[in-house]
Structure 1
Amino acid sequence: MELRHLRSFTAVAEELNFRRAAERLHMAQPALSAQIKALENHLGVSLFERTTRSVKTTHTGRVFLDEARAVLAAAGQAEQRAKKAKQGLVGTLRLGVIAPNANAWLAGILRGFRHRFPGVQLSLFDLTTPEQIERLRAGELDAGLLRPPVGFPELEAKLVAESAQALALPAGHRLAKKRTLRWTDFHNEELVLGHPRMQHGFYDAFLAACERAGAKPTVAQYTNDIQTKLWLISAGFGIAPTVATLAEVHRPGLVFRALPPGLPPVQTMLVWRRSDDSPILTHFRACFDGV
């Protein structure tokens, strides 16, 4: 049984006339009659009561008509979705994001994408850079917003944002009262940092700048979770260099101050698999053109 058999049956059931049904389907009447007969033989039932003057659906035919219409409607919908999927208008984009990038800049990018492609579902995953790279390589993410370096030839990367570094510290900390910070101010200060294997350059740059100035801070706590990190700082466990965009959201007991000059900006890369030719991914990448 094929869709053409269902279309032929539905046309006859709605017209109750083989000639009109054949005209509607743009086919010869004998060919239509043959299709209906083949369908009845396949099902092992009579779908129509035929006389020389009229055609009526049987009880079985009326029940089958409801099902045939549903199948044809579903097939039509599937065809339309397949065409839209080819154009990248429907589907899912699995996007990895590191927590500091969940800011107003990214919100604007995602709003613009959602406005242009409302049929695409965005699935966001809060993951560290190593976790994103692992899932990208495994095909479990379509794209990731992460820190460099990437370092795998099967992955393509594009620089999409740079942010200054800032110092996060408890509101009552002595350095919170200073207008201008110097590298020597960090001598013997306790730091809250990410685990060494999860660090991506900017912690090292901060520590190197301190060392050049003769300052020797100590690491008091390690954590990879950004919310835990900010909570520890606000609770007085230490201070930390971080991305300045985190200051966009007010948190009780936590303040941000500009760091002394000399640090490189924190880079955000958009990363995807070179072999991925998904039209949805192409549309998403285009959102970052010119940024």
Structure 2
Amino acid sequence: MTWGKDVEESEAADQLTAFVDAGGTFIDTADIYTGGQSERIVGRLLRTAIRREDVILATKVGHTPEGNRPFDTSRRHLLASLEASLRRLQVDHIDLWQLHVYDPGTPAEETLAAADAAVAAGKVRYIGVGHLTGWQLATYATWQRAGQAMGRCPIVSTGAEYSLLNRRVEADLLPAADDCGASAIAWSPLGRGVLTAKYRNGVPSDSRAALPHMAPYVEPYFDERSRGVVESVCTAAEGLGVSPLAVALSWVRDQPNVAATTVGPRTASQLGDILAAENVVLPREIREALHDASAAPLH
């Protein structure tokens, strides 16, 4: 999300190489990230740093920050945006094309017909959605399922913010996804960085929360409830002899119906800490304790 702004291309190259060398396969970007620069960087690195065939490439579409409406999932916008993403990424197809937002101004059947057309043209392999509500996901998934005999493609994934600090999707989106046969891609599984415990005693000068354009993104998790959850994570980490990051990440990763967690490290050091957490599996008692400690009203 920050490649091309907070993360320079040389740093991105080092991270991507280390990620793939460690067995990582899923690269998630979007057409609006850093004004398209994120896709451009990914495209160049697919030619210089790693092999295209070694990764699952995902991007998103639907936001229109420069347009006269905030969202647009019309056939016109989707197919034009797809061509632009393919050019920036320098590829002939996208593995997972995600409808980033729900557009109330466009009929669902028009949006989904455009997605099917992209698959039929060989420019997209699978269709997913972003952080929709449960009923919005169900609408899309049911429409696609009803027309599978006519070539409609199923909705295979839904992206959602999900962490020990934000479990709202457990109320409706995750149950809906499970019922619809879609898996969750959990973004910000580290609670926008707060669950790493880096903010336990203040805001480090080199942290995301110290950046004026990112501080509003992090600060909502500086409340009293969040502090209590962070302390519980730290207690579990001390008992297991691992990092708070490893505890928080593994809790989300191993939740039912979560297919992947997406993370946005700014440095190679941060990525190293994340990769080191891959083999951490929380004992059932710890998972249950964290579940209780982070429980909150879901609405």
Structure with more of its chain in strand, by fraction:
1
Higher relative contact order (CA 8 A, sep 6+): 1
Task: Give TM-score, length-normalised by structure 1.
Answer: 0.21
Structure with more of its chain in helix, by fraction:
2
Q: State which structure, 1 or 2, has the greater radius of gyration over its C-alpha atoms.
A: 1
